[in-house]
């Protein structure tokens, strides 16, 4: 299973959730915090040392500009 985000980050995320979604149930808040932990772990695994040209947003060109 996924490990939770750090306690400090979890507190910050919980505060943001409380402001943005004040009517969530405790189960929904817990699920959202867990999802944030999963996303954080996924982001940590992304390579950071790729050259600029390897980023898909910069590799593809709009068809009208390819001429």
pTM passes above 0.75:
no
Domain boundaries, the chain: 7-65
DSSP code of residue 30 = H
**pLDDT tens, position by position, 8-54:** 888 888 899 999 999 999 999 999 988 988 888 888 887 777 666 66
Structure tokens at 36: 């944030």
Please, are residues 6 and 40 in contact by the beta-carbon 8 Å criterion? no
Longest CA pairwise span in the chain (Å): 55
């Amino acid at each position: 299973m996924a490990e939770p985000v750090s306690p400090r980050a979890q507190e910050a995320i919980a505060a943001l959730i409380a402001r943005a979604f004040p009517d969530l149930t405790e189960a929904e808040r817990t699920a959202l915090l867990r999802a944030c932990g999963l996303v954080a772990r996924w982001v940590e695994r992304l390579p950071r040392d790729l050259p600029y040209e390897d980023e898909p947003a910069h590799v593809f060109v709009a068809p009208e500009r390819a001429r």
